[in-house]
Amino acid sequence: MLSTLDLSIVAIYAIALFALAQWVSREKGDHEKDASDYFLAGKSLPWWAIGASLIAANISAEQIIGMSGSGYAIGLAIASYEWMAAITLILVGKYLLPVFLKTGIYTMPQFLEQRYDHRVRMVMASFWLGVYVLVNLTSILWLGALALGTVAGVDQTLGLVLLGSFAIAYSLYGGLKAVALTDILQVVLLVAGGLMITWILLDQIGAGQGVFAGFNSLLENAPEKFDMILSKDNPHYASLPGISVLVGGMWIMNVSYWGFNQYIIQRALAAKSPDEAQKGIVFAAFLKLLMPVIVVLPGIAMFALDAQLTTPDQAYPAAMTLLPTGIKGLVFAALLAAIVSSLASMCNSISTIFTVDVYPYLSPSKHSEHTRVNIGRITSVTAMIIAAVVAEPLLGKFDQAFQYIQEFTGFFTPGIVVIFLLGMFWRRTTATAALLAAISSAVFSLALKLLWPELPFIDRVGLVFLACVAIAVTWSIMRPKATPGFVELGDVRFSTSTGFNISAVIVVLILGALYVTWW
């Protein structure tokens, strides 16, 4: 379905990205990359690179194809994941990030050992490696290959190989610096391509009368797709259970993802200063407000144009087939940008956790910086190969991959949030209490899933979170122990700049207006 012009545009993008990645990854003089350079970009990232990289890492095939599919099936309500994330980013920048920056850590498991003990570090490092490889990396590869197959007619297996190989090729040498400093190109392309496809689809719905006519027609013909808060009689209530989206378990999901997720927070840890990190997070928050226009509206538009798709996840690839020559190539390049950026980011985070947290335990002898960097590179390649092999067996039967991923991670996120929040803000929390919270999260989630299957998973996340808090607090009080790794909050600077504070107010006001309008 791609013309020669479309393929030329994609080829120019791929060459430009590869060349730019190698250029920003070069070293000055005789300097050789060390672990700080490879995993944290030498702690030199500016705010614009941090903000762009946060969005590029987050918006992938999982988001674009998955959320468009959910937009097709559910409607604008799925945008709550994006809009609530904007507020979450503000909270992370003000209250969580300063604590992490104070400790000077590379990874989230490293913080857990400083705060608790080695057991907690190894348990959580092993858990994150498993989830990142078998859920996140796999889903990005699978949905990306699905897009390649639908739009370009590429065989699914070949698509997996091509995407994985290109992501590794452009990022393997430079590490996080190669990923983060090229992400500004990726985000510009992503936003431009995403707005373009939305514009064209709405214009088609409006019969050539323009975007606003198309949007008004969409409101008239599919009003049920514009309910932000779903009622109990909505067939998709279990996915987005009414007011719980605003005050319940979605907060736990968002705080876990944006605040305690190595894949995301690693960019902020690589900032040249705390102020730059917070500026980058604000930039990302504003971009999140825009994302539903790019990743949800196309799915709703496809519902109006063709409500007979086999599965919802076909909505975005099918929309791309409606685009004119040239524009199709640009939008396809934007989709590829989102996919390969997320793949490269995920591989870098996997390699960081394995090299910093796990490998020293497996091989206790002291390793040179050169060895650590090479271990990171080998880990990235290995993770990509595993993800490509298991992609179809794990994800081939799901028609809404985004919802599957959210529900699966929801089994564990309550415990993760409890471990970090209590560890950061309550001195008396013990290591054993943290482990009990982590184990209880999985056990309680599975029990509720089996015993109360009709309970919406977001509500389940909220209930399990409260149960895990109760267990951790009770155990810590009954079996108190010294906590030498507690970060003294009095030593942490929580104050933020005037620009940050004004931006936070603007984000809240915009979100308030959106929810009042589409309630």
Calpha distance 492→470 (Å, rounded): 27
The dihedral formed by the CA atoms of 370, 372, 376 and 382, expressed in degrees to the nearest 10: 100
Q: Which residues have C-beta within 8 Å of that of residue 428, sequence separation ≥ 6?
A: 476, 477, 480, 483
pLDDT of residue 323: 86
Structure tokens at 274: 């705390």
pLDDT of residue 93: 94
Q: What is the DSSP string of 101-132?
A: HHHT-SSHHHHHHHHS-HHHHHHHHHHHHHHI
Q: Which of 473, 379, 496 is nearest to 427 (CA)?
A: 473
Which range in 180-189, 296-305, 487-496 is most confidently predicted, on average pLDDT?
A: 296-305
Residue 25 burial class via C-beta count within 10 angstroms: exposed 0-12, middle 13-18, buried 19 and up? buried
452-474: pLDDT as tens digits = 998 988 899 999 999 999 999 99
Domain contains 246:
yes
Domain that holds residue 43: 4-16+36-402
Domain contains 52:
yes
**pTM to 2 decimal places:** 0.90
Contact 257/402 with Cβ under 8 angstroms? no
Tokens 């214009």 locate to 203
Tokens 């995993």 locate to 39
- The pLDDT confidence band at residue 140, using thresholds 50, 70 and 90, is confident
For the four alpha carbons of 372, 373, 374 and 379, in that order, the dihedral sign comes to positive
Q: Please state, rounded to an integer, the average pLDDT across all residues of the chain.
A: 89
Contact 135/409 with Cβ under 8 angstroms? yes
When mean pLDDT is compared across 39-43, 116-120, 268-272, the lowest value belongs to 39-43
Domain contains 431:
no
Beta bridge partners of 181: none
Higher pLDDT, 157 or 143: 157
287: domain CATH number?
A: 1.20.1730.10
7-33: pLDDT as tens digits = 899 899 999 989 998 888 887 766 677
Structure tokens at 21: 């990645």
Domain contains 301:
yes
Q: How many domains in the chain?
A: 1
Q: What is the DSSP string of 265-322?
A: HHHHHTBSSHHHHHHHHHHHHHHHHHHHHHHTHHHHHHHHH-TT-SSGGGHHHHHHTT
What's the rounded mean pLDDT across residues 58-76? 84
In this prediction, what percent of the chain has a pLDDT beyond 70? 97
What's the rounded mean pLDDT across residues 90-96? 95
Calpha distance 15→85 (Å, rounded): 33
Contact 71/295 with Cβ under 8 angstroms? yes
pLDDT of residue 476: 95
Calpha distance 376→37 (Å, rounded): 12
Domain contains 68:
yes
Q: Please report how many Cα atoms fall inside a 13 Å half-sphere around the Cα of residue 502, on the Cβ side.
A: 3
Higher pLDDT, 416 or 142: 416
Domain contains 439:
no
Domain contains 354:
yes
Cα–Cα separations (whole angstroms), residue 281 to 47, 215, 233, 347, 497: 8, 31, 37, 22, 13
Contact 461/449 with Cβ under 8 angstroms? no
372-402: pLDDT as tens digits = 899 999 999 999 999 999 888 877 766 556 5
pLDDT of residue 224: 87
Domain contains 307:
yes
Calpha distance 56→65 (Å, rounded): 15
